[in-house]
Amino acid sequence: MSSAFVPKRPVVTAYPRMPEAFAQGEAIASYLKGKGLEAPCGSLYDEELRRRVKTGDFDMLVVVGGDGSVLRAGHLCAPSRVPILGVNMGRLGFLIQVDRREWREYLEKLFSGEAWIENRMMLHADHVRAGDSLGSWNALNEVVVGRGQNLRPVRLSASVDGRLLTSYVADGLIASTATGSTAGALAAGGPILPPELRNILLVPIAPHLSVDRAVVLAEGSSVGLAVHSENAVISIDGQSPIPLMEDDRVDVHAAEVTAQFVRFGDPGYFYRNLTAHMNENSIGLPR
């Protein structure tokens, strides 16, 4: 756990398709101005605000929305090392510690020196065709190579540090961070990893007569995902899929940039948050 974090140059952003998020964002910005801080407030997709984040004008970004908004904020903020404070307006909020009804309480803690910075590994993915890179991305949750609109499974093989691990016939294969272990990887039957781990998790989606177990790779591993069928796509953190061709490869390893989050209390918050979400799905179980 790092030392106390108190921001001096915050910015407030909101998910643009959620009017109530903007109302909360304006209220948060007003609160911060009451603390003597000039805090601009705007859309998470506002180009001028994004430019200022990238050039280091701010030392904290508040994002009001759901987990998807936090993922977009992670992509924006990681290269310039701007910590993110999420305020949850969505449903699950695995990435978010602060609920919409509690932000005043948590901001008081922030300015009392009770916050700390949590670092979370991101993945870097390269799309390679015949030795040429056609695109590269950073992912906070996961890189998914899977079938497109075609219903047939895809044929893939996974290599670790240049050595063949195994082949898959499946709907897809997830290469996930610890952060992503509570997202698509969890839905596909993978384990939950503590957020501070820097391991890569490989989880097949609906495997057909092939390895059906998740594999946790050692910290520092590099993964090569080779495509052996024509109907595959790649998706980064749930963004729009990009078509792949047979014999394409997706290389995945730990990114050089790290997503930073403003946290409160001890690191055990992760398990309390997790338990709360799991209890929401419990029906008729004894307490």
What positions carry a catalytic annotation?
Answer: 67
Beta 242-243 vs 115-129: how paired, if at all?
unpaired
Residue 232 neighbours by CB under 8 Å, 6+ apart: 145, 146, 147, 148, 154, 156, 243, 244, 248
C-beta separation of 238 from 68 below 8 A: yes
CA distance 10 to 77: 12
CA distance 164 to 143: 19
Output the CA angle 59-63-69, nearest 5 degrees. 125
CA distance 247 to 253: 20
C-beta separation of 61 from 39 below 8 A: no
Least Cα distance to 174 among 136, 244, 113, 225 occurs for: 225
CA distance 188 to 207: 10
C-beta separation of 214 from 202 below 8 A: yes
